[in-house]
Amino acid sequence: MIDEPDLAFEVIPADPCALLGQWLDHAREQSAQPNWNVIYLATVDGHGRPSVRPVLQKYYDATTGRITFFTNYHSRKSHDIEACPMVSAAMHWDHLERVVRVDGTVEKATEDVSDRYFATRSRESQLGAWASEQSADLPDWETLLERVFEASARFAGGPVPRPPHWGGYVLTPQSIEFWAGRESRIHERVLYVKDDGRWVSRRLYP
């Protein structure tokens, strides 16, 4: 059990974006979880078929609640997002007994944001972004290694530019739900929904 009166819901905080910021800070500082910033991102394709995968949340804006992650724009998730920009993202910190679910819409990050983030990645990761046709069929492992080698030769001696098919997405929340584990399974859930530009909260049964 986490003893943090300021983050319990005796009084429901007015602003879920600030609260999520506090939970993320706490997860980074307290959680033994290496990927404390992982989000399980669920998308649906044009036929309504869902799929989910972990991605890393790289930027969080505690004022707007916007979450930025990066990926290949030709991947399965990106095709899904093109067909349906509505997504659902779950975060789970097992050690902290906390879950957050964010539902909302995604749009591409600006080229500038994608360029700046790409420049912070290791050279190996940058070359990998050129080499991988994420989610496409790979005939054999050697093909991938060859593609990494080709990318390495192509950009030898200079910086690796961001591939045009790689960049960020920004998730703007329409609802944010907080779940906090409590004694005897009397867990707490608080759901915030954006209504006419304002956040409205209510408790849910666990």
Ligand X SMILES: Cc1cc2nc3c(=O)[nH]c(=O)nc-3n(C[C@H](O)[C@H](O)[C@H](O)COP(=O)(O)O)c2cc1C
Cβ-based nearer residue to ligand X, 80 or 103:
80
CA 186 → CA 72, 95, 119, distances in Å? 41, 17, 46
CB of 192 to ligand X, least distance (A): 25
Provide, for the chain, the percentages of residues in helix, strand and coil under a 3-state DSSP scheme, each rounded to the nearest 5.
Answer: 30, 35, 35
Pick the catalytic residue from 101, 185, 189, 202: 185
Selected binder of ligand X within 51, 64, 110, 125 (CB under 6 A): 51
CB of 152 to ligand X, least distance (A): 21
Cβ-based nearer residue to ligand X, 8 or 110:
110
Task: State which of positions 54-93 bind ligand X (CB under 6 A).
Answer: 54-56, 69-72, 75-77
Cβ-based nearer residue to ligand X, 35 or 64:
35
The answer to whether 123 is a known catalytic residue is no
Identify whether the C-beta of residue 105 lies closer than 8 Å to the C-beta of residue 43. no
Task: State which of positions 132-151 bind ligand X (CB under 6 A).
Answer: 134-135
Cβ-based nearer residue to ligand X, 69 or 192:
69
Torsion angle, CA of 59/54/177/117, rounded to 10 degrees?
10
Q: Is 46 in the site for ligand X (CB under 6 A)?
A: no
Identify whether the C-beta of residue 72 lies closer than 8 Å to the C-beta of residue 165. yes
CB of 69 to ligand X, least distance (A): 5
Handedness of CA 91, 196, 12, 186 (dihedral sign): negative
Give the CA radius of gyration of the chain.
Answer: 19
CB of 163 to ligand X, least distance (A): 13
**How far apart, in whole angstroms, are the C-alpha atoms of residue 149 and residue 43?**
33
Cβ-based nearer residue to ligand X, 117 or 192:
117
Task: State which of positions 4-43 bind ligand X (CB under 6 A).
Answer: 35, 38
User: How many residues bind to ligand X according to rule CB under 6 A?
Assistant: 16
- Encoding tokens for residue 49? 């078929």
Query: In sequence order, which residues have a C-beta less than 8 Å from that of residue 157 and are 6 or more positions away?
Result: none
Residues in the chain: 206
CB of 206 to ligand X, least distance (A): 27
**Residues making contact with ligand X (CB under 6 A):** 35, 38, 51, 53-56, 69-72, 75-77, 134-135
Catalytically active residues, by annotation: 185
